[in-house]
Amino acid sequence: MECREVRELADSFLSEELLTETNHEILRHLDSCRSCRAEIDARRSLRASVRTAFGRVEELQSRPAFVSELRATLRDSAGVAPPRRLSAWGGWWAMAATLVLAAGIGSFWVRDWIAMAGSLARAAVGDHENCALHFALAEKPIPLEEADAGNAVYRLFEQIPPSDVITDSGPAHVLARHVCIYEGRTFVHVVLSYQGQPVSLLVTTAGGSRPLALQTSPHMTAGSRIDDMAIASLQAPGHLVYLVGAVRKPI
Amino acid sequence: MFIASPAQDLTDEEVLGALRTLPQSFQEVIVLCDIEELTYKEIAEALQIPVGTVMSRLHRGRAQLRVGLAASTSVSGRPGRERRW
């Protein structure tokens, strides 16, 4: 095996993702190549540094059950093949629901993914608090059907999520769908009731001109907490989607 | 191709700071792989992307992370090293 091949496979080697035979080839190469050994050591060291940095910051600690729950969800969803057109939204909802709803909003305590420290996430939490909890917005929210005016995203959220959402840990019910403005940012805001608490689904533009489309898979970005609020974030073309609710400390 | 190697005595702030500068799509695969220790297949299913995309994002993300860390440690006056791929 050549040095270039070893370095191409180095990350997979360290992640133990390679076939046994390939691992043996790499190990044989490393026996005789000091340069590649150093390269592997550098990558291993970088991973250790990332792990250590996360491990030392208290607020970045994950709830121990997080990964096992995520794996269970993946196993469950692997056995279900939803229609293609719905799969993206279904996948989104399944993941968000698992992380925030099905995982139990009261015990939701996942690693504070660093991407979530941004101002948009804070604005989403602020809108949830001021609109869904305290009814203290400077401008009165406009019902989605009134705000529609041909806006495809507004129209999308007139129907999605459905009025009643069944999760593994109980039902969630839509209380309101509207457009509201918080600190100058416009949100599509769907308020749900879940286990007696309001949960907000918030959608806002994130730059770019590509429309939000169901058939385009959004990326789960993060589970996090800001100001005692649990927040799950998903990135879709041109838009960011947040699910925000109250947080309690894990048991 | 040259890629820098960061100094060995990185602080937590330097590591997390460099990670924050990566595109979110790179951050999430690195966290899922290196912190949560999910397999490539599990990451692909969670993010609804092909396994090959997971691998390429990990590769590019880690490379950018090394470059960023080497730059930050260099700026802070501590020696980084340059390495030839």
* CATH number of domain containing B55: 1.10.10.10
Long-range contacts of B59-63 (CB under 8 A, 24+ apart): B59/A11, B60/B26, B61/B22, B61/B23, B61/B26, B61/B27, B61/B29, B61/B30, B62/A11, B62/A43, B62/A46, B62/B30, B63/B3
Is residue A165 predicted with pLDDT exceeding 70? yes
Region A223-239: mean pLDDT is 62
Among A136-145, A175-184, B23-32, name the most confident range.
Answer: A175-184
Q: For residue A20, with 0-12 CB atoms within 10 Å meaning exposed, 13-18 middle and 19 or more buried, which class applies?
A: exposed
The answer to whether the CB atoms of B28 and A47 lie below 8 A apart is no
Whether B15 and A49 lie within 8 Å, measured CB to CB: yes
**Lowest-pLDDT range of A57-66, A135-144, A161-170, A241-250:** A57-66
Domain ranges of chain A: 3-56, 60-246
Q: Do B19 and A56 make contact, defined as CB atoms within 8 angstroms?
A: no
Cα–Cα distances in angstroms (integers) from residue A70 to residues A116, A171, B36, in the given order? 19, 20, 10
Asked if B27's CB is within 8 angstroms of A114's CB, the reply is yes
Identify the bridge partners of residue A229 per DSSP, sorted by sequence position.
A226, A246
What is the model's pLDDT at position A98? Answer: 42
Tell me, what's the pLDDT at B39?
Answer: 84
Q: What is the pLDDT of residues A33-62, one digit of tens each?
A: 999 999 888 888 888 888 887 766 654 454
Distance from C-alpha of A75 to C-alpha of B54, rounded to nearest angstrom:
19
Angle at A162 between CA A161 and CA A164, to 5 degrees: 115
Whether A89 has a pLDDT exceeding 50, the answer reads: no
CA distance B74 to chain A (A): 16
Domains contained in chain B, number: 1
Q: Pick from A50, A62, A219: which is nearest to B25 by CB?
A: A219
- Residue B51 structure tokens: 């396994």
Contact status of B31 with chain A (Cβ, < 8 Å): yes
Helix axes A65-78, B40-47, angle to 10 degrees: 70
Q: Which of A165-174, A222-231, B44-53, B75-84 has the lowest mean pLDDT?
A: B75-84
pLDDT of A8-24, one tens digit each?
888 888 888 888 888 88
pLDDT for the residue numbered A248? 46
Q: Is B56 on the interface with A (CB under 8 A)?
A: no
In this predicted structure, what is the pLDDT of residue A208? 41
**Residue of A49, A75, A99, A112 for testing the chain B interface, max B β-carbons within 10 Å:** A49
Q: Which domain holds residue B37?
A: 2-84
CA distance A160 to chain B (A): 20
**Three-state SS at A126:** helix
Determine, for residues B36 and A46 on separate chains, whether the beta-carbon distance falls below 8 Å: no
Q: Can you say whether residue A13 is alpha, beta or left, with left for phi > 0 and alpha for psi between -120 and 50 degrees? A: alpha
Place of tokens 């309690």: A248
Query: Above 50 in pLDDT, residue A113?
Result: no
Report which of residues A2 and A166 the model is more confident about: A2
**Residue type (1 letter), A126:** G
- Is any Cβ of chain B less than 8 angstroms from the Cβ of A220? yes
Picking from A96, A130, A75, the residue whose alpha carbon sits closest to that of residue A224 is A96
pLDDT at A29: 92
**DSSP reduced 3-state for B63:** helix
Q: Reply yes or no on whether the pLDDT at B15 is more than 80.
A: yes
Do A51 and B74 touch, CB atoms closer than 8 A? no
Q: Does B50 lie at the interface with A, CB-CB under 8 angstroms?
A: no
pLDDT bin (cut points 50, 70, 90) of residue A193 is confident
Q: Do A15 and B40 touch (CB under 8 A)?
A: yes
Closest alpha carbon to B13 in A57, A112, A61:
A57
Chain A residues touching B10 at Cβ < 8 A: 49, 53
Q: How high is the mean pLDDT of chain B?
A: 74
- Is A46 in contact with B16 (Cβ distance < 8 A)? no
